[in-house]
Amino acid sequence: LQADDVESKIREIIPPGFCTNTDDFVSLLEKEVNFKPFGMLLHTYSIHNEEAGEDITYQIYKADMTCPGFREYHERLQTFLMWFIETASFIDVDDERWNYFLVFEKYNKDGATLFATVGYMTVYNYYVYPDKTRPRVSQMLILPPFQGEGHGAQLLETVHRYYMSSPTVLDITAEDPSENYVKLRDFVLVKLCQDLLCFSPVKLMQGFSQEMVTEAQQKLKINKQHTRRVYEILRLRATNMGDAEQSRSYRLDIKRRLIGPYKKKQRELAKMRRCLRPEEMTNQLNQIDLNMQREQLEESFQQLVSEYRRVLERLAQA
């Protein structure tokens, strides 16, 4: 059998100069002692490592293409997207509206301070008329050896805090977020919002309000849709689900939001009734449709509550 030409496929993704044998790779590792993170240090944090029996230090930096050597580093770094994110694609690094946020592990070896790449995020700054920007998270990757340790939450919260200080930022969004990213965002935004006065237990029980929308956007750069989700999670925490009245009030509040698409479908059915013959729109068909909608609505509600409980469990452990 003839071996596949693996290198030709790799050349389509990885920049020229990659190693093709172990000896060359090991010799290059010796130069890692000279590596220093790019850009401006935003945040330093520690995570206890059970295996090592000590706290490991990590740092988050903001970089751009004006940093010497960063362009070449990013060309190699972004190739990891192709191995771990199914719909990944490379970005136009010549567009100055991109921001880059990088996570590094800081450790000591043989008396030298070294840095290992943990992950990174790219954010594109969209223009919003007349004088605002809307940062949109495009790509986010924590490398497999570091996943499950809380680095994604640290990175996303740091990025939010970075943009919160800018008066020209309207709010922060994400491009085609994955299910895992939505869970991560829920945790981070709830953590940020829980201390705002508008999310006090008393106000949560009074229902979703414009005050929540305004304060979350002005102070934390969170849009209305995400604020509503934060409200629902925090109200669940403030609700005694063992109390019939509180449980019913919470369930109806959530379902009033969830029922929006079903009401739209009912409006479409109403238009069809005006166009179709009566025998084509029988009462029996309508009843089956309504029953199905009720089942789907209850299923959606139970799924949401399950997701919200996981966020609250993680928040309690943070």
Output the six-digit token pair for 103: 């996570």
The tokens describing 37, both together, are 């993170």
Q: Which of 32, 54, 72, 175 is catalytic?
A: 175
Tell me, rounded to whole angstroms, the distance of Cα 5 from its chain centroid. 37
H helices of the chain, where? 6-11, 22-29, 70-77, 80-84, 151-164, 179-193, 201-204, 210-220, 224-238, 244-258, 260-275, 283-317
176: left (phi over 0), alpha (psi -120 to 50) or beta: left
Look up 149 and say whether it is catalytic: no
Rounded to whole angstroms, the Cα distance separating 82 from 64 reads: 21
Residue 148 tokens, joined = 């499950």
- The Cα 99–Cα 137 span in angstroms is 9
Strand 132-142 and strand 173-174: the pairing is parallel
Structure tokens at 232: 């629902």
Give the Å distances, CA to CA, from 224 to 55, 171, 178, 233, 266.
38, 9, 19, 14, 25
Q: Phi and psi (nearest 5°) for 50?
A: -65, -40
Catalytic residues, which ones? 175
